[in-house]
Structure 1
Amino acid sequence: MSGALVHTGQVVLDLVLRVRGLPPVGGDVFASRSQLLPGGGFNVMAAATRAGARVVYAGGHGVGHFGDVARAALAAEGIAVAAPVTLGIDTGICVVMVDDTGERTFVTGSGAEETTDAAVLADVAMGPADVVYVTGYSLLDAKAEILLERLEKVTDATVLVDPGPLAAEIDPGTWTRLRAITTVLSCNAREARLLTGATDLRVAAAALATTLPAGATVIVRDGPAGCLLTRDGTTVTVPGFAVTAVDTNGAGDAHCGVLAAELLRGVPLAEAALRANAAAAIAVTREGPATAPTRAEVDALLQR
C-alpha cells in the first residue's frame, strides 16, 4: 500500500446526546448521556487508519479548545495534518441527538474546518496511488471553488465522493463539476432517493451512474441489507450483516473509510464493499461517532 487516503472534508467536535426522542418545537428533553467527541471527517479517517491505511487530513482546524481536541484525536490515530492552524476561529461543533432506535439527528455550527488555503491544498499530493475523499458538505461553503479547482487538476487519483445528508442542497452547477471527476460515488439510501427522485434503490443507483464518467461506480448503502454496486450498466447486491444497532451515527463514515483503505490495497471493488459493510455493521453496535473496527475485527466477522 503505497498511497494514502487524502481527506479534503471537515473535522468537527460532536456533542453526542442520547435522548428517548427528539423534543417538540419549543420543548425540552433530558439526555441520558452526553459526550464531546471528535467527529465529522474524523470518523472516515479513523476507520481508514484502523483498516491499515495511511491518511492525510487536508481540511482546516482552528485555534481553541475544540481545535486542540481535534488535533489530539488526529495524532492519536496517526493521521497526518497538512494545513496549519487557522487563527482567529475555533473548530466547529455538531450537536448529535441519538434516539432509542439508534437513529441520529444533526445540528452543526461551523468553524475553522470550513476554511481552505489554496496554496496548502496545492501542495498535498494526490496521485495515482491515492484515494481522495470529498464530502458534499465541502460544496456548501466558500471552500467549494478552491476545492473543485484543485480536484479538476487531479487526473489519475481515485476520487471517492460521499454527498452527505444535505446532498439535495448542493448547487447544481457545483454538483455537475464534481460528478465529472468522480471515480466512486457512495451514498446512503435516503440520499440516493433525494438525488434522483426514485424510490426503488436499483433505479436510483442506475440513474446516478448515468451522471458519472464511464467506468465510475455508484455505491448505495442500505444498512443491514448491505449495499448496491452499479458500474457499466450492471447493478449487484453486496450482502450486509444483521446486527442490533444501538447508534447509527458514523456508520456511513466507517463504510467509506474502510472502502478507501481496501481500494488502497488494490482489493477488487466488490470485496472492498463487503468489508465496508462488515465494518459499518460492527460500528452501529457501539455508541459514538468514531466506532469503526480494526481490520482484525472485520476479519473475525467475515470468518463467522
Structure 2
Amino acid sequence: MSRESSPRPAGTTGDPATPRPAGTTGDPATPRPTGPTVVVCGTVNIDTFVGLETFPRPGETVIGRQGLRSLGGKGANQAVACARMGVHTVLLASVGSDPLGDSALADLRGHGVDVTHVRRVAEPTGQAFIMNDRAGENIIVVTSGANEATDPRDSVGTVGTLREQGSVPVVLAQGELTPEHSVRIPGLLAEGTRLVLNLAPVTTRDAGLLAAADPLIVNEHEAADLLGADAATAGGGAAGGAADGGSAGGDADGLARGLAGLARSVIITLGAEGAVVLDPRTAPDPVHVPAPQVSDVVDTTGAGDAFCGTLAAAVAEGEGLVDAARLAVAAGSLAVRARGAAASYADGAEVRASAVGG
C-alpha cells in the first residue's frame, strides 16, 4: 500500500522477528490473474465460539459445552466463500502485527485467498466472541481493533493494477468498516468495475455508496432500517438457513421495490426461505429464489457471508443476478450444517450440485 497513517511494527506473517516493509504481509507479488477477480474490502477477525445449552441471563454464569477458535470477520468470511468457488480473490483488509494476525493470514492463505494487500498495523487483530445455543442461534460481540485502520483509499492502486492486467474485478464490501471508510468504497470503482455491497450492519445511509451498489444485499431488518420502516412489519426474527437473519413472513417484495430507488439492484435475504432478487434491468418484479431444505442446522454464524461471497464469485463469472442468487442460497444453506464460519463453507462443486433450479 502506498498510503500509511502511522509507522508499522516490523515482522512477517510467519516470523515476527524478521524485518519487513511496514504495512505489508511479506507475501510475494500478486500473480497476474488468468480469470475473473473479486476484490473484497472488509474486516478480518479471529472468532472464539462457545456452545451453550441456553443463553445466560444478565448476571448469570453458565458453563459452555465447548470452545473453538477460527477465522472470522465479514471480509475474511466472504473472501473465503468466494475463493471456494474457484475465483481469484484478493482481500483488502488490516490485521495486527500479533499472533492472531499471523493465524488469520495463515488461514486465509490456506483457503486460497490472496492476502498480498492485507496490511499489518499497530492495533490488535479484530476479535469476535460468539455464543451458540442448542437451537443454533447466536449472540456475537466484536472488538474491531485493526479493522478500524482499513481505508479503501489505500487500495485504489490495487484495483487499478488488476484492470491494467486485463481483469475487471468485482468489488465486494460490507458494513463492518467504519462509516467514514465505508463511504469511500465507491472510490475503488473504475469503469466496468461492479460493487456488490452487503450493508450489514447498516452503519451508513450514504446516497453515493447505495447508488453504486449492484446489488445491494441486506436482510429484511436491514432493509427496513434503510427505508425507515418498522422492523416488526418486515418479517420477524432471525431464521437459520441460507443467510443470516430475516424470515419469509414480511413484505420482502415491497422492501426490494423500495430499495430499488436507492441502488442499481437489490437482494433481500430471507434466511431459510432463500432470497428475493430485484434487478430492474432484467425484470420489473422481484423474483423469489428458494433455498434447499436443511434439517440438521448446527450453526447459522457466517451463512450470510457464504451467500455474499458466493454471489460475488458467480457475478464475476458472468452469471445473471437470479442465477447467482441460486448458487448463493445453496452455499448459505450448506454452511449451517457445521460449526463456525469460513471453515464450514462448501466448495464450488458441492454448491452447484445443491443449488435449487441450477
Normalised TM-score (structure 1): 0.89
The answer to whether the 8 Å contact 1:103/1:248 transfers is yes
Counterpart among 251, 257, 270 of residue 303 in structure 2: 251
Q: Secondary structure at the match of 1:96?
A: strand
Q: Secondary structure at the match of 1:86?
A: strand
Instruction: State how far apart, in whole Å, the 2-side matches of 1:171 and 1:263 are.
Output: 25
What is the number of equivalent residue pairs in this alignment? Answer: 293
The answer to whether the 8 Å contact 1:18/1:31 transfers is yes
What is the CA deviation profile of residues 194-235 of structure 1, one whole-angstrom value per residue up to 9, with x for unaligned ones?
A: 3231522111111111112xxx21111112211100122421
Instruction: State how far apart, in whole Å, the 2-side matches of 1:284 and 1:299 are.
Output: 16
The answer to whether the 8 Å contact 1:193/1:201 transfers is no
Instruction: State how far apart, in whole Å, the 2-side matches of 1:60 and 1:38 are.
Output: 14
Counterpart in 1 of 2:19? Answer: none
Residue 260 of structure 2 corresponds to residue 221 of structure 1:
no
Residue 146 of structure 2 corresponds to residue 112 of structure 1:
yes
Counterpart in 1 of 2:212? Answer: 181
Counterpart in 2 of 1:299? Answer: 352
CA RMSD of aligned residues (A): 2.1
Counterpart in 1 of 2:237? Answer: none
CA positional deviation for 1:240:
1.0
The answer to whether the 8 Å contact 2:292/2:356 transfers is no
Q: How does 1:185-204 map to 2 (within 5 A)?
A: 185-196=216-227, 197=229, 199=234, 200-204=251-255
Counterpart in 2 of 1:160? Answer: 196
Counterpart in 2 of 1:206? Answer: 257
Counterpart among 106, 114, 117 of residue 83 in structure 1: 117
5+ unaligned residues in a row in structure 2: which ranges?
1-33, 235-250
Counterpart in 1 of 2:68? Answer: 35
Q: Which moved more, 1:83-92 or 1:196-205?
A: 83-92
One-letter amino acid matched to 2:275: C
Residue 317 of structure 2 corresponds to residue 271 of structure 1:
no
Pick closer, same or farther for the CA change 1:248–1:73 going to 2, 3 Å: same
Q: Which moved more, 1:111-120 or 1:35-44?
A: 111-120
Instruction: State how far apart, in whole Å, the 1-side matches of 2:204 and 2:285 are.
Output: 29
The answer to whether the 8 Å contact 1:121/1:150 transfers is no
Instruction: State how far apart, in whole Å, the 1-side matches of 2:62 and 2:226 are.
Output: 33
Residue 90 of structure 2 corresponds to residue 56 of structure 1:
yes
Pick closer, same or farther for the CA change 1:219–1:118 going to 2, 3 Å: closer
One-letter amino acid matched to 2:80: A
Counterpart in 2 of 1:2? Answer: 35
Counterpart among 170, 177, 187 of residue 131 in structure 1: 170
Q: Secondary structure at the match of 1:125?
A: helix
Instruction: State how far apart, in whole Å, the 2-side matches of 1:190 and 1:21 are.
Output: 24
Residue 94 of structure 2 corresponds to residue 73 of structure 1:
no
Instruction: State how far apart, in whole Å, the 2-side matches of 1:59 and 1:183 are.
Output: 21
Counterpart in 1 of 2:285? Answer: 234
What is the CA deviation profile of residues 2-50 of structure 1, one whole-angstrom value per residue up to 9, with x for unaligned ones?
A: 2311111011111111112222112222211111100112211111111
Instruction: State how far apart, in whole Å, the 1-side matches of 2:258 and 2:277 are.
Output: 12
Instruction: State how far apart, in whole Å, the 2-side matches of 1:11 and 1:100 are.
Output: 27
CA positional deviation for 1:149:
6.2
CA positional deviation for 1:189:
2.5
Normalised TM-score (structure 2): 0.77
| Structure with higher helix content | 1
Q: Secondary structure at the match of 1:257?
A: helix
Pick closer, same or farther for the CA change 1:177–1:139 going to 2, 3 Å: farther
Instruction: State how far apart, in whole Å, the 2-side matches of 1:14 and 1:299 are.
Output: 28
Counterpart in 1 of 2:6? Answer: none
Instruction: State how far apart, in whole Å, the 2-side matches of 1:75 and 1:266 are.
Output: 25
